[in-house]
Structure 1
Amino acid sequence: MFATLVRRMAGGPIPPGLRSATRTPLAEAYISPYKPKKIWPPDFSKLSQKEQFRFERRYKRRVKLATARPRWDKFVKLAQLFSVTSLVIYSVLFMDWQMENQPFQGLRNSFWDVLGAFSPEQRHERRTPDIAVITNSK
């Protein structure tokens, strides 16, 4: 890109007679014979405050629509949610706080007690009262 720019600048201006001869039919197809109704960008010094505000609002809306990346935004939001959630879960349940009174020790104990109830050893302990009730009712 930089080499092309330097080469074009070193070449100097194209004489007016050669300009029209270097045009290809494809390039002429893109040249519109019609003049635009409005000049863009407008001269903001000649516009009122209300018109300036309207142009700015319209430009910001168009830029926002042109630069919108919904899939990327969704991915970033999900990544942020996952990282923050995993950090909180790690700090509450697994992190060693190096303190005498850990702030989440009660929550840790209750969580591991609930998870321990699903282990195979605890499963038999949970079933024994049910079995005792069934045998006593007969």
Structure 2
Amino acid sequence: MLISAVRRAAQDKAPLFFNNHFKSRTVWPPDFSKLDAKQKFRYERKFKRRSKLKWLRPGWVKGVKIAQFTSIVFVLIYGVLFLDLSSEGSPRHRPFAGIRSWFFGMTENIFGTDDKRRNFSLESQPTSSATPSIK
């Protein structure tokens, strides 16, 4: 097996002929010195459009836009809600203190802390004999 592979590698390669069965009608690239201004403009417009289409990468552009938007939103949310700026300037003046207190007041139940607005203890529920019990 190895000997036949070595023998094949030692042989000369078959000559490579560039035979195109479909010959072009015009010479390419065209001689721009022989073209008039209108024909030059047409070629420029056509190949400008084709080069734009060739280098257009919609998936890549969409990914870059999503990554940029995500990073901008992350930095803004981190800066407003979590970044401690009290060491900068006056310690009494905390920027975004109102937004932070509102946000963490709204989301305190998500992280397992008790709800301050409702009391779910059994003592606070009214017991009246007027309500019929269903058994």
Q: TM-score range by the shorter chain?
A: 0.5 to 0.7
Root mean square deviation, CA, Å: 3.3
Please identify which structure carries the higher helix content. Answer: 1
Alignment of 1:32-47 (within 5 A): 32=20, 35-47=23-35
Aligned residue number for residue 71 of structure 1 = 59
Aligned residue number for residue 113 of structure 1 = 105
In structure 1, the residue corresponding to 2:118 is in which secondary structure? helix
Per-residue CA deviation, residues 16-65 of structure 1 (Å, 9 max, x unaligned), is xxxxxx982xx33x323665322333333443443333222221222222
Identify unmatched segments of 5+ residues in structure 2.
1-12
Alignment of 1:1-138 (within 5 A): 24=15, 27-28=16-17, 30-32=18-20, 35-97=23-85, 98-100=88-90, 101-123=93-115, 125-128=116-119, 135=126
**Shift, 1:136, TM fit:** 7.3
CA gap of 1:50–1:105, structure 2 versus 1, over 3 A, is: farther
Structure 1 window deviating more from structure 2 (73-82 vs 48-57): it is: 48-57
**Shift, 1:92, TM fit:** 1.0
Identify unmatched segments of 5+ residues in structure 1.
1-21
CA gap of 1:128–1:57, structure 2 versus 1, over 3 A, is: same
**Shift, 1:76, TM fit:** 1.9
**Shift, 1:86, TM fit:** 0.6
The TM-score normalised by the length of structure 1 is 0.59
Structure 1 window deviating more from structure 2 (96-105 vs 79-88): it is: 96-105
**Shift, 1:66, TM fit:** 2.1
In structure 2, the residue corresponding to 1:42 is in which secondary structure? coil
Q: Please tell me the residue identity of whatever aligns with 1:76.
A: V
The TM-score normalised by the length of structure 2 is 0.60
In structure 2, the residue corresponding to 1:82 is in which secondary structure? helix
